[in-house]
Structure 1
Amino acid sequence: MSAETEASPPSASKRFLRGLLETAAIILVAILISTALKTWVVRSFYIPSGSMMDTLQIDDRVLVNQLAPRFGPAERGDIIVFDDPDHWLSPEEVSEYQPNPLLEFVGLAPADGGKQLIKRVIGVGGDTVECCDGQGRILVNGEPIDETYLDEGTAASEVEFDVTVPEGHYWVMGDNRGNSADSRYHQDTEPFVPEDHVVGTVFLINWPFKHFTWVSNPEAVFADVPAPEGITGG
């Protein structure tokens, strides 16, 4: 008789239990990865209004790079998602957000999505931002900018302003200038967005699929803008 004996195959119940444990492990790892991504790397937001049209449409879903603020401040031209700095949103606007618990759990919708706004950075700390020159263009540090991301025929602003952005803050505006309650409309309270309120920078429109596109910074628009007075280098 041989000293070696063949191992008997596992029973059906053991195979079922092993498969169940393997499936549970895969699900757990997927949840951990999803949680890590939505906590530190990428979050999804939906667009509830037309304030950023035609760049972003109502009900678009966008992905936001949450790592961007960790590596430096936003730049002029970036589209940012930020926490409401000083009750810019009315209670009615906050209550309109209808959360989807499943999408929130997997990171495809924000858990506090009714409390953020999305706008474009026009001025950074130290900048002087003014409306407007004789051709209706916004001036940043005295340099007029041609905002190619605005829909043709859209006025740069029908609201006059002349502000200096405090260090560590942003002056932001929606691309749909006639329908965006942005920095211009809060000049009597708090028109500037603190850097530490920024959730991240929009880099992709991922839904609906027909709107799928990468979102980049329009560097050429601000290329000739000089550094603020008293700031040199970089």
Structure 2
Amino acid sequence: MPRLGWSLVNDEQKHHVQKIVDEVHEAVEDASEQIAQTGKTLIRWIVEWLGIILVALSAAFLIRAYVFQTFYIPSVSMVPTLQVGDRIIVSKLSTAFGDINRGDVIVFKHPPREQCGGDTGPNSDLVKRIIGMPGDELTSRNNTIYVNGKKLVEHWQHDPNLGSDIGYVKVPEGQYFMMGDNRPSSCDSRMWGTLPKSLIVGKVVLRIWPLSHFGHP
């Protein structure tokens, strides 16, 4: 019985077999190239998305650090303007550009002399309203606040009962006299003195939660 071998294959068959081998080899090379290309595409896609995420995180950090920040109201000192549980947005640009005025609601860092306790701690931020500007002279009589000898006209909601009187205060330059709208229940500049501008975080510009209270406070 003859042995099978390459010698028994004619030239046409050899050519056909060689063609198949070449096609298989070419297909393997194409597949390898496609796999390599797919790997490069996947790596490029991952790098692009990592770049997008990094940019987004950087933008969020910059916005929080220099433009806007959200805060939660933990106490009743600003009732009825701000209720416990309200969430607010604070603009930090107001401090940078000097857009701070009497009547503005301000978030600020914990004053060193604040020792009222309650819902605040030494690392917490507070929220009050500006009553006295730098250079103002303040006093109070019969639950009425006077600024530079004139009765303070208050267009915002507040408890008409002062609780604790102001006495007489001349606000130093670069500082502010702060009070809560819930006057009898607010620990403010009447207790711990005027607030240095350096402690101001920003001005409350919007209440975002709950939706029933949405808007400028």
TM superposition score category, shorter chain reference: 0.7 to 0.9
In structure 1, the residue matched to 2:198 is: 196
Q: Does 1:176 align with 2:178?
A: no
Quick one: percent identity of the two aligned structures? 37
Q: CA deviation at 1:37?
A: 0.7
**Deviation per CA, 1:153-198, whole angstroms, max 9, x where unpaired?**
x224122222111111111100111211111123xxxx10011111
Alpha-carbon separation, structure 1, partners of 2:186 and 2:116: 14
Change (3 A) 1:210 1:89: farther
How far apart in 1 are the matches of 2:125 and 2:60? 21
Q: Is the contact made by 2:111 and 2:199 (CA closer than 8 Å) also made in structure 1?
A: yes
C-alpha root-mean-square deviation of aligned residues, in Å?
2.3
For the residue of structure 2 that corresponds to 1:170, the secondary structure is strand
Residue 158 (structure 1) aligns with: 163
Gaps of 5+ in 2: 1-32
1:100-139 alignment, distance < 5 Å: 114-132=123-141, 136-139=143-146
Question: Please, what TM-score do these two structures have when normalized by structure 2?
Answer: 0.75
Which structure would you say has the larger RCO, counting Cα contacts within 8 Å and 6 or more residues apart?
1
> What code does the residue aligned with 1:33 have?
A
Q: Alignment length, in residue pairs?
A: 183
| CA distance in structure 1 between the aligned counterparts of 2:184 and 2:128, rounded to whole angstroms | 14
Higher helix share: 2
TM-score where L is the length of structure 1? 0.70
Unaligned runs of 5+ residues in structure 1 are 1-7, 96-111, 216-234
Give the greater-gyration-radius structure (CA): 2
Residue matched to 2:150: 143
CA distance in 1, matches of 2:130, 2:52: 41
Q: Which residue of 1 aligns with 2:77?
A: 51
How far apart in 1 are the matches of 2:43 and 2:91?
A: 40
Q: Which amino acid aligns with 1:32?
A: S
